[in-house]
Amino acid sequence: MVATAATSAFFPAASPSPSPNTGSKGSKIGATNLGVPKSKSGSGSLRVKANAQAPPKINGTSVGLASSVEGMKSGDDMPSSHSHPRTFINQLPDWSMLLAAITTIFLAAEKQWMMLDWKPKRPDMLMDSFDLGRIVQDGLVFRQNFSIRSYEIGADRTASIETLMNHLQETALNHVKSAGLLGDGFGSTPEMTKKNLIWVVTKMQVVIDRYPTWGDVVQVDTWVSASGKNGMRRDWVIRDSGTGAILTRASSVWVMMNKLTRRLSKMPEEVRGEIEPYFWNFDPVVEEDGRKLTKLDDKTADFVRTGLTPRWSDLDINQHVNNVKYIGWILESAPLPILESHELSSLTLEYRRECGRDSVLRSLTTVSDAGVGDLGTPGGVECQHLLQLENGGEIVRGRTEWRPKFANNLGSVGELPAEST
């Protein structure tokens, strides 16, 4: 169709030749269509047809071809219609214009084809960062890729623990959504929504083998399984999308709470019927840490940070503080020498109660090793944590383990990297 339009634009249809008169009169020049007077071949005078239609008038003024009739030249002055006969050669178009039209059409078609056929050439291109995830492993595992952004890294140029925790939470919600179980709530199923139930986490264990850096693309896998009669366990594995190496493992336990009464609830059979088909009977990726978490107070804590208050942006759609925010508050009381010389290698949290937007909290930390801050210390550091309300109510108990920085890049722990020569 494009070719036909281009051809018709440059090869106009030939108009019919004027018909010669059989009498002594000259040939007609559009007399039938335009009402133009015909000229006599043997005379220089101008004769007008007797039956010519009078020119139309608008508001008393003549319009049309009247002025043309008065100024029409005699037949002797008009060019002969047979002096330049029409041939194929003199009907050819301007070839430069035709070539330009063909080139434009070709470039437009090529551009459209490239847009339809575009694919990322490398697995670490920006396209992967917009991956919405997919179901794998016979519909039991959800997988999603994330690109580490510049605003998600810390002073060490690696992703922060909050960034990794946000990736875990995002894949969990996208898993529920992709399975068609997302109701009107933060991960709640349709039956949970009918019964005003929401999920709350009671325990979280995270092990970080290596932190990704800016520009890395990580692959997060997550799945769920049963935990007791009324709970659900969710596991995650974070890998380097390029090498497949495991970077982080995490395991958590979730129970249900009534969002109106704010009390824990048993799992209704209707809800169990919704989620059981997605359970994968797989061992936890993080071995259960059965050690009891110590309760701290002002006397046993080495470091205390007070006056912590949630901002509006810290609340989720269930109107309580997001779980990831607790980790940042816990680390607020961690001593600076640990943050400078060590990196977080494992994290265990036990959630005791929720925190509202009007709460004021205190963060307490005690360190099990007095040699904190010595980069050459050949061992890790363990800390106990407590996040509590000002009135003494416990929010979260926690335990963190720290390893010396550069430990993953060296043969022996604590050894400084050699200068390049």
Q: Which of the residues 166, 230, 318, 408 is marked catalytic?
A: 318
Kindly report the CA angle at 102 between 99 and 104, in degrees rounded to 5? 110
Distance between CA atoms of 378 and 119, rounded to whole angstroms?
48
Report CA-CA distances (Å) from 283 to 176, 245, 272: 21, 20, 20
Report CA-CA distances (Å) from 264 to 165, 274, 286, 332, 394: 24, 19, 25, 29, 17
| Stated length of the chain | 421
Residue 342 is among the residues annotated as catalytic for this protein: no
Residue 383 is among the residues annotated as catalytic for this protein: no
Contact between 161 and 328 under an 8 Å Cβ cutoff? The reply is: no
Exposure of 162 by Cβ count < 10 A (0-12 exposed, 13-18 middle, 19+ buried)? Answer: middle
Residue 84 is among the residues annotated as catalytic for this protein: no
Q: Which of the residues 145, 167, 355, 385 is marked catalytic?
A: 355
Sign of the four-CA dihedral 124, 128, 133, 139: negative
Tell me which residue of 357, 362, 348 sits closest to 394, measured CA to CA. 362
Could you tell me how many helices (H) and strands (E) the chain has, helices first? Answer: 9, 14
Scanning 222-317, the segments in alpha helix (DSSP H) are 269-275
Q: Which of the residues 320, 322, 323, 342 is marked catalytic?
A: 320
Residues serving a catalytic function are: 318, 320, 355
